[in-house]
Structure 1
Amino acid sequence: MSTVFIVTGSSSGVGRALAQFLSRHGVTVVGLDRRDPPDREIAHVRCDLTDPRAIDAAVERLDERVDALANVAGVPGTSPTETVLAVNFLGMRHLTEQLLPRIQRGGSVVNVSSSEGRHWVAHLAELRPLLATTSFDEGLRWCRERRPDRSIYDISKEAVLAYTTASSTLTWPDGVRMNAVAPGPVRTPQLADVERSSDPRRLARQRSAAGRDAEADEIAAVVAFLMSNESRWINGQTLAADGGVAAATTWAALQTR
């Protein structure tokens, strides 16, 4: 029986690089994206992460057996507020929880967040009501009523990391591990929008510490590792695939104490 990996955001960027990497290594890949892929080398199911009904319809088209899920799809902070929260967190959560019963023992879920989400612990009190929502619509209602006064992109990526940490304790007894990857800037078609919606000073510091932006295939390889059996004893972790930015930031902060 072939190994089946699901990859969201598979039509471009890191998702595309990941789908191609897995396919080259003999994995059966099914890509989920609202856009058709540029070619047909990988199976594709159209899926709009802003619409829970579209997510459910996409899930119905997938195999009953799934070995791993990579939630790579995301939108930058230049998108409308509710779209950012829907795609980056609510749609990711809805899809994951629909697919978890199908993921085989020994399987894996990998959620791609961002280096902008690394301060989630400090903001946990703000995030708790969002994490406590139990439906897509309830999550959007939180967004409308709370009207966060800081970047919804940062909030969405923090929520991904908090969700990963919490959910990993629930999936582990069923033999499914859940981890996250937090990249810094990546050379993808979205990079220009990321630059427009980011604090330029923070972005400059990241690039100075790393020396360059990541390539999509560099992040894809990290996600593929966490999907594979070689990472079977890693659970509930966030891997900062950022060229050392998190380490440099932490060390600099420690020098001021």
Structure 2
Amino acid sequence: MAKGLSMQNLDGLGYRDRTVVVTGGSSGMGEQVARILGELGAKVHIVDIQAPKVPHLSFRQCDLSDFDQVRAAAAALAAEAPIDFVFPCAGLPPHIKGPMYCMRVNYIGTRLFVEELLPSVRDGGGIALISSDAAMGWQGNLAQSLEMLAISDPDEAYAWCEADPDARVRDGYTSSKEMLVVWVANKAVEYGNARRIRFNAIGPCPTRTAFMDEQEKLLPEGFLDAWPYPSLGRMATAEDQAWPLVLLNSPLNGAVTGSFLYTDQGFASGVFTGAINPAFMKGEVA
């Protein structure tokens, strides 16, 4: 934290004594989100496949690919209602178990968890999740994404993907992260009008986590060194990404919903305006 600041000075963010739920709170960005929220005085409940290492009030073990487990975890958390803020941070890359599994966890399972938990979220609460700047082309695939968005049943959504995985799932990661952006942009209106619940997402750039350590093994040598880091001059840390998510979900951002905040050191905006040449990603420029 900046010199002279303390967590007590940040009570205005609105988390002290509030009940929060963090998925993926046992590692990476989710772990840092859970840690920061705890230090801000929140009552932190973590949902993850593995036990958390940071302080927490309760832990529910859950594999987001198992829809029965997802429903059970959300039902158990009803005991903590009203829940003030939800932070869906769980996610994985496609090389773990393939593109279909990636879609099942990153979007379908995450959406099911939020929708099952929604009755326990207080009116006026907030939900903020982690997408990726890999989703920066989401508008180009909007028609297909809206087709999937219209399928609310998770088993039906998975079957829809299975019917044409090459077109509908692709690498699994990019498509699932695009679906998160479209879901947020669309449902924020419904959640807001019905219950004044805000719904937002961040889009991180490459970030130094265990997730990225595994990804790096599959990337061309020097790929991450060539990535532009205008704001930090280095790869972001999990804490660098956790703070924007915490700030975005704060009630101080009462007018912000349906947003996709790029936390990517200017990469997407640079590409959109020509300030950054994305050809380096294919090894075409130095």
Q: TM-score, normalised on structure 1? A: 0.91
Alignment partner, residue 66 of structure 1: 83
Residues 1:31 and 2:46 aligned together: yes
Aligned CA distance change for structure 1 residues 198 and 158 (closer, same or farther; 3 Å): farther
Alignment partner, residue 282 of structure 2: none
Residues 1:18 and 2:33 aligned together: yes
Residues 1:248 and 2:262 aligned together: no
Mapping for residues 73-222 of structure 1, pairs under 5 Å: 73-79=90-96, 80-149=98-167, 150-173=170-193, 174-196=195-217, 206-207=227-228, 211-222=233-244
Conservation of the 8 A alpha-carbon contact between 1:117 and 1:155: yes
Distance 1:91 1:75 in 2: 12
Conservation of the 8 A alpha-carbon contact between 2:200 and 2:258: yes
- Cα offsets for 1:27-47 (capped at 9, x unmatched): 111011011113554521111
Conservation of the 8 A alpha-carbon contact between 1:77 and 1:197: no
Residues 1:47 and 2:65 aligned together: no
Conservation of the 8 A alpha-carbon contact between 1:23 and 1:42: no
Counterpart amino acid of 1:70?
F
Distance 2:85 2:219 in 1: 31
Deviation at 1:143, TM superposition (A): 1.8
Kindly report the root-mean-square deviation, in angstroms, between the aligned alpha carbons of the 2 structures. Answer: 2.2
Residues 1:227 and 2:249 aligned together: yes
More displaced stretch, 38-47 vs 6-15: 38-47
Higher Cα radius of gyration: 2
Paired residue total: 255
Aligned CA distance change for structure 1 residues 247 and 205 (closer, same or farther; 3 Å): farther
Distance 1:199 1:248 in 2: 22
Of 259, 264, 284, the residue aligned with 1:237 is 259
Distance 2:103 2:54 in 1: 29
- Please state whether the residue corresponding to 2:104 is helix, strand or coil: helix
Distance 2:256 2:184 in 1: 13
Deviation at 1:142, TM superposition (A): 1.5
Deviation at 1:82, TM superposition (A): 2.2
Mapping for residues 1-12 of structure 1, pairs under 5 Å: 2-12=17-27
- Cα offsets for 1:58-99 (capped at 9, x unmatched): 112211211011110000121222220111000110011111
- Please state whether the residue corresponding to 2:274 is helix, strand or coil: helix
Distance 1:229 1:139 in 2: 32
Distance 1:182 1:131 in 2: 19
Structure 2: state its 5+ residue gaps: 1-15, 278-286
Distance 2:133 2:156 in 1: 26
> Larger relative CO (CA 8 A, sep 6+): 1 or 2?
1
Deviation at 1:205, TM superposition (A): 5.5
More displaced stretch, 236-245 vs 80-89: 80-89
Distance 2:144 2:234 in 1: 33
Identity of aligned residues (%): 28
Distance 1:246 1:200 in 2: 22
Counterpart amino acid of 1:33?
D
Counterpart amino acid of 1:239?
L
Distance 1:254 1:225 in 2: 27
Counterpart amino acid of 1:17?
Q
Q: TM-score, normalised on structure 2? A: 0.83
Counterpart amino acid of 1:6?
V
